[in-house]
Amino acid sequence: MNVVPDVSSQRQTDEPVNSLAAYTTLRLGGRPGRLTVTAETDEAVATVRNAAAEGRPVLILAGGSNVVIGDAGFPGEVLLLRTRGIEVVRAHGESVVVRVAAGEVWDDFVAYAVANGWSGIEFLSGIPGSAGATPIQNVGAYGSEVAHTIVAVHAYDRQSDTVRAMSPAECAFAYRSSVFKHSDRYLVLHVDFQLTVSAESAPIRYAELARSLGTEAGDRVPLSLARDTVGKLRAGKGMVLDAEDPDTWSVGSFFTNPVVPAAVRESLGLDHAPYWPGEGGTVKIPAAWLIENAGFPKGYAGAGVSISTKHTLALTNRGSGTTSALLDLARTIRDGVRDRFGIELHPEPVLINCAL
């Protein structure tokens, strides 16, 4: 199950919360200065606005599945976003525009879209976290990314103190990146997705998925088959949250896949490395391949932390880890890959009050 821990009613508390570990999928992170939980969009805006006016830092946290929070925690206010709601705002012919509240559980929305016969996000099944966080790093998997379907992001802009609808161009979506990532300017409130009314998936773009389905790239399959197959592939790699399985106590991929000019790949003696062709003469090299071939196999361990036994790209807390141990492991891997291949790996999650 992919769960954004449920908070059924709005709660604002000055009660001390000892640790943010309960709110992150890594189960790591120290104490917050203060924790505010809200299920109300207006209250979320007011919290951020007041903090901005008073010069207090705010950390927006939803599913906690893409953050590494330092052992010392976060000294400011942590806003735990639990707003809910899915609403069709436009339906025209074969297209629907669906507005989703930021705190809605992403995978619940994907399941809802599939059940309604709306195609476009089925390959993004099983990704933990909230709908509102998907634009932050342009969430993607299996040849699909949310930039393919997002038509507007409704956000509170701290700079202008207004709520506005941002176009995809303003969002500046790129590979695991957008204008929102590493910025505290915006609080995403709702996201509009344009989906296609169809019982069939979008065309398959990912070879591994096509192989599992016994089809060719470019083919379409029934929506529920696409969702189930992606779910199984992800579960086999520990990429679906499972409370019983420490291989899933991660942030998913810890490093992004490096994008380098094709000539660099050859000059570094990486001719035998797998790659995906990119734009403008670049290639994307799988970070997992680099890590394994630099001498870090699945299960490679640090103090209470390790590379997942199911996926080389996931760094996991085995239950007794700390953020500091996790970052030590990440540094060892990053430096090992740099020494072996001359390529610098960069972290995919957002690092809060800690550094690599």
Ligand X SMILES: Cc1cc2nc3c(=O)[nH]c(=O)nc-3n(C[C@H](O)[C@H](O)[C@H](O)COP(=O)(O)OP(=O)(O)OC[C@H]3O[C@@H](n4cnc5c(N)ncnc54)[C@H](O)[C@@H]3O)c2cc1C
Residue written as token pair 């000019």: 261
Alpha carbons 118 and 157: distance in angstroms, whole number: 31
| By CB under 6 A, residue 172 contacts ligand X | no
Of residues 84-123, those binding ligand X (CB under 6 A) = 102
| By CB under 6 A, residue 128 contacts ligand X | yes
Strands 67-69 and 11-13, how do they pair? unpaired
Q: How many CB atoms neighbour CB 242 within 10 A?
A: 13
Structural contact between residues 98 and 128, judged by C-beta atoms closer than 8 angstroms: no
Q: How far is the CB of 65 from ligand X (least distance, A)?
A: 3
Q: Of 253, 265, 306, 308, which residue is the catalytic one?
A: 253
Q: Of 31, 99, 176, 265, which residue is the catalytic one?
A: 176
38, 41, 47, 65: residue in contact with ligand X (rule CB under 6 A): 65
From the list 11-19, 127-135, 290-298, 339-347, the region that binds ligand X by CB under 6 A is 127-135
Concerning whether 95 is annotated as a catalytic residue, the answer is: no
The 3-state DSSP class for residue 290 equals: helix
Concerning whether 176 is annotated as a catalytic residue, the answer is: yes
Site string for ligand X, 23-42 (x = CB under 6 A): --x-----------------
Residue whose CB is less far from ligand X, 228 or 338: 228
From the list 49-57, 91-99, 245-253, 289-297, the region that binds ligand X by CB under 6 A is 245-253
Q: How far is the CB of 263 from ligand X (least distance, A)?
A: 28
Strands 11-13 and 58-61, how do they pair? unpaired
Please enumerate in sequence order all residues whose Cβ is within 8 A of that of 20, keeping only pairs 6 or more positions apart, or say none.
29, 30, 31, 32, 61, 64, 69, 73, 74, 78
41, 47, 149, 250: residue in contact with ligand X (rule CB under 6 A): 250
| By CB under 6 A, residue 136 contacts ligand X | yes
Dihedrals phi, psi of 271, to nearest 5 degrees = -55, -30
Please enumerate in sequence order all residues whose Cβ is within 8 A of that of 240, keeping only pairs 6 or more positions apart, or say none.
2, 126, 128, 231, 234, 248
Structural contact between residues 80 and 23, judged by C-beta atoms closer than 8 angstroms: yes
Contacts to ligand X by CB under 6 A: 25, 59-67, 81, 102, 127-130, 132-134, 136-137, 139-141, 180, 186-188, 239, 241, 248, 250-252, 350
Q: Which residues are catalytic?
A: 176, 253, 348
